[in-house]
Amino acid sequence: MTRKAEAAPGPTGTRRPAGGRSARLAPHTLAARDAWASALEAVPRSRFLPDLIWPHDMATGETTSVDRARDPRAWQRHADADEPIVTQWDDGNHRGEAPGRSFTSSSSMPSLVSAMLADLDARPGHRALEIGTGTGWNAALLAHRLGAENVVTIEVDRAVADEARRRLTDFGMPVRVVHGDGFLGHADGAPYDRLIATCGLRQIPHAWVAQVRPGGVLLVPWGTYYGPGEATARLVVAPDGRGASGPFTRPVAFMRMRSQRLVWPRHDDYVPPGAVSAADTSSTALTEAQLLGTGSFDAVDFALGLRVPRVARNVDRKHDGQRAVWFYGLTDRSWAVVVFRDDRERAKVYQAGPRRLWDEVADAHAWWVAHGEPAYDRFGLTVDERGQHVWLDDPDQVIGRPQGASG
Ligand SMILES: C[S@@+](CC[C@H](N)C(=O)[O-])C[C@H]1O[C@@H](n2cnc3c(N)ncnc32)[C@H](O)[C@@H]1O
């Protein structure tokens, strides 16, 4: 059974350019890339997967079920492939083979898993905390290098936590699996040398910084409400232990932490009948490609989200050479829409409400262009007792304080 994936985020893959293909996992290639290759060979992903899996094709966006009992060879092929595999839908409320509405637990792409472990720079002797146990495979990889006694992992979903604990024990790596909300971290095991989150955050809790020793590293997928643009922040805890700061290392697409999911605004609540004809109108020379980027590695979404806080954006499907892109304010009923038409040079804009959301987006885009269209790795994040702020090139060049939807 097949299902087109939700628009974003994906079930944890590296964001690929459109048209990219899933590659077979090649351990020797990975060996050249990072020190985690031998762990990947010693700890096969297949030992942590359930019999019913939903591999996700990053190129087509399709998610197809594979049942081990019915097709063991296909199951093994997918387990060994460099692709994300969905292992739970709809917080476990969905049963059966057909894909559900939203993927809520998965095993990430092996190449991304190894790249993140390399970024984390966890070494023998370190103690590590993982947020988001999922299948338990990443915890097992950590345990392979650090020792099972030095790894704690937290999972919010009880059934997922129980299954991972069982598989870790069966594999001979009895990592401590805690069932609970990872947002609080796990103070009992602190201080840690390393903290890795394998679900996406919009707001990193200071508790995590407080639980990692000075000089220790946090690696956290992070993004705003604006769009799917997300990247891993690699934060090093300051010598006084009060804050942590560092650059973004790579674009990713993780499912968000349960408590930080976006509850999509209801279009009709913002734009009731007649609202478009009553809205302020203007036009823009910004093109669809400039606003949306041309590949999934494009940093434009990420950058705009940093400059336009508390806004969700929705891109309509293209229809008859026309595409509408909507913006919804998350703390008031401000909205805007820009309508691109293939046969027009300028796009029409409608906006209404206390904020002028399109003006904010256009200003943010001009700012991004004026700064040389920075990619993810020119941005960085600092988390301290006052909250979090994002910077460009240098921690002193603060460009925004993106908070939660209500912040
Ligand atoms: C991409 S999966 C993790 C993959 C996992 N590391 C592995 O090796 O299979 C993300 C996981 O984060 C969990 N999660 C979401 N919110 C959480 C929270 N607040 N605390 C702990 N886990 C959470 C989800 O239930 C899901 O299992």
Report residue 61 as tokens. 């966006």
Q: What does each C-alpha distance from 62 to 1, 11, 404 come to in angstroms?
A: 10, 11, 31
- Is 108 one of the annotated active-site residues of the chain? yes
Question: Is the distance from the beta carbon of residue 181 to the nearest atom of ligand 1 less than 6 Å?
Answer: yes
**For residue 15, what is the DSSP state?**
-
pLDDT value, residue 396? 93
Report residue 247 as tokens. 């650059």
pLDDT value, residue 324? 97
Question: Is the distance from the beta carbon of residue 182 to the nearest atom of ligand 1 less than 6 Å?
Answer: yes
The catalytically annotated residue of 22, 106, 107, 108 is 108
Walk me through the domains of the chain, giving residue ranges and CATH numbers. Answer: 2-108 (no CATH), 112-260 (3.40.50.150), 267-370 (3.30.160.690)
pLDDT value, residue 263? 85
pLDDT value, residue 403? 56
CB 40 within 8 A of CB 27: yes
Instruction: Give the residue, out of 12, 133, 177, with the most ligand 1 atoms within 8 A of its beta carbon, to mutate for a pocket test.
Output: 133
pLDDT value, residue 15? 44
* Residue (of 107, 112, 150, 115) closest to 35 by Cα position: 115
- List of the chain residues with pLDDT < 50: 1-9, 15-32, 404-407
* Residue (of 350, 368, 347, 372) closest to 359 by Cα position: 350
pLDDT value, residue 35? 73
Report residue 79 as tokens. 């387990």
- Per residue in 149-200, pLDDT (tens digit) is 999 999 999 999 999 999 999 999 999 999 999 999 999 999 999 999 999 9
Q: How far is the CA of 105 from the centre of ligand 1 (A)?
A: 6
pLDDT value, residue 10? 53
Instruction: Give the residue, out of 85, 144, 154, 157, with the most ligand 1 atoms within 8 A of its beta carbon, to mutate for a pocket test.
Output: 157
Please give the torsion angle defined by the CA atoms of residues 26, 27, 29 and 31, in that order, rounded to the nearest 10 degrees.
170
pLDDT value, residue 58? 82
Q: How far is the CA of 156 from the centre of ligand 1 (A)?
A: 7
